Amino acid sequence: MDPVHIFWITSRAAGLVALLASSAAVTLGLLMGGRFVTGRTAQLRVTHEALALATIAAIVIHAGALLGDSFLSPSLADVTIPFVSGYQRIWTTTGIVGGWVLVVLGLSYYVRARIGVARWRVLHRFTALGWLLGVVHGIFEGTDAGAAWFLIAVAAAALPPGALLAVRWSGAPASPAVQRS
């Protein structure tokens, strides 16, 4: 393997990890928020938080590793500011916006008291939008998007939260017995 590809491979692997971890985090969040699960919510919340932090770390590595890629050689602005990069501008921007949404809304958990818990809850719902943008970015710009293993992995990870989101947006209650009051 050519050492020149190390940053490139690292960025792609981190992108996939971010996609899988965010899918799992969003799934758990929707399961808890929709009251699809009862009991063990403390453990689920801890897992949700750990997965969200793993997602943020993976996003940082995904963007940071690109800075070391000698082929694309993007600037910091290229990988952090929407519409700056000329490389597949729309899909790169989709990824940047999705990444920022996930990072900012994920970390906002730690200042929710300052934001106001009710306001934070409303904001936190937009995390799903960040995840959706990440999936779109991965499918339309991902180098491995044509590979069967990638599509299978993303489909397996993205279908559960996709279905849960569809249920939430359709307004269908999770279960009459555990509906929110």
Partner 1 sequence: MPQPLPESARERMAARARRIALIRRRVIVATLATFALAWGVIAFDGSMGSTTTASTQAATTTSSSDGTTSSSSSDGTTSSASSSDNSKSSSSDDSTSSSSSSSAPVTTSQS
DSSP per residue, 106-174: HHGGGGHHHH-HHHHHHHHTTHHHHHHHHHHHHHHH-GGGGSHHHHHHHHHHHHHHHHHHHHHHHT--S
Q: Which two tokens stand for residue 32?
A: 């808890």
89-97, long-range: CB < 8 A, 24+ apart = 91/136, 91/137, 91/140, 91/141, 92/137, 92/141, 94/133, 94/136, 94/137, 94/140, 94/141, 95/133, 95/134, 95/137, 95/138, 95/141, 97/130, 97/133
Residue span binding partner 1 (CB under 8 A) among the ranges 3-11, 30-38, 97-105, 160-168: 3-11
Q: Which of residues 69-108 bind partner 1 (CB under 8 A)?
A: 71-72
* 55 or 94: CB nearest partner 1: 55
Residue 12 Cβ, how far from partner 1 at the closest point, in Å? Answer: 5
* 38 or 143: CB nearest partner 1: 143
> What is the chain's length?
181
Q: Which of residues 119-148 bind partner 1 (CB under 8 A)?
A: 143-144, 146-147
Residue span binding partner 1 (CB under 8 A) among the ranges 49-57, 93-101, 119-127, 163-171: 49-57
Total residues at interface with partner 1 (CB under 8 A): 29
Quick one: which of 7, 21, 78, 162 contacts partner 1 (CB under 8 A)?
21
* Nearest residue to 60 via CA among 24, 10, 23, 117: 10
20 binds partner 1 (CB under 8 A): yes
Residue span binding partner 1 (CB under 8 A) among the ranges 15-23, 91-99, 131-139, 163-171: 15-23
**Interface residues with partner 1 (CB under 8 A)?**
1-2, 5, 8-10, 12-14, 16-17, 20-21, 42-43, 46-47, 50-51, 54, 57-58, 71-72, 143-144, 146-147, 149
